Amino acid sequence: MPVEIERKFLVDGDAWRTGVRKRELFRQGYLAGSELCSARVRVAGDLAWIGLKGRVQGASRLEYEYEIPLHEGNEILDRLCAGGRIEKWRHWVPHAGHEWELDEFLGDNLGLIVA
């Protein structure tokens, strides 16, 4: 059973930009959502996948991800997602022996940066 433990931190300032190891554009959209879970499709680079996330219980939640063909991911994103599409740059930044993922949002969430 795949379990995700995730903590998010609001990022202030730009000092982190000097340490970026890699960055990639992510596009995602939601297919469905309920009290129990949400279903989304994501496209990044030449990969696409469907993700199912359970509701948070304590500090964790169930998460399942399944890779799908890129052309299908783009079609699902463009034709089947109901509102709430998100575009963001994901930056990978090594710091203090760990690698942080920083998401820099575009569009309606422009200016939001979360680690």
Overall size of the chain counted in residues:
115
Structure tokens belonging to residue 9: 């931190």
Query: Residue 69, SS3?
Result: coil
Q: How far apart are the first and last CA of the chain?
A: 25
Task: Mark whether 66 is an active-site residue.
Answer: no
Cα–Cα distance for residue pair 36/34, rounded to 1 Å: 5
From the candidates 4, 16, 26, 30, give the one annotated as an active-site residue: 30
Cα–Cα distance for residue pair 44/67, rounded to 1 Å: 11
Catalytic center residues: 30
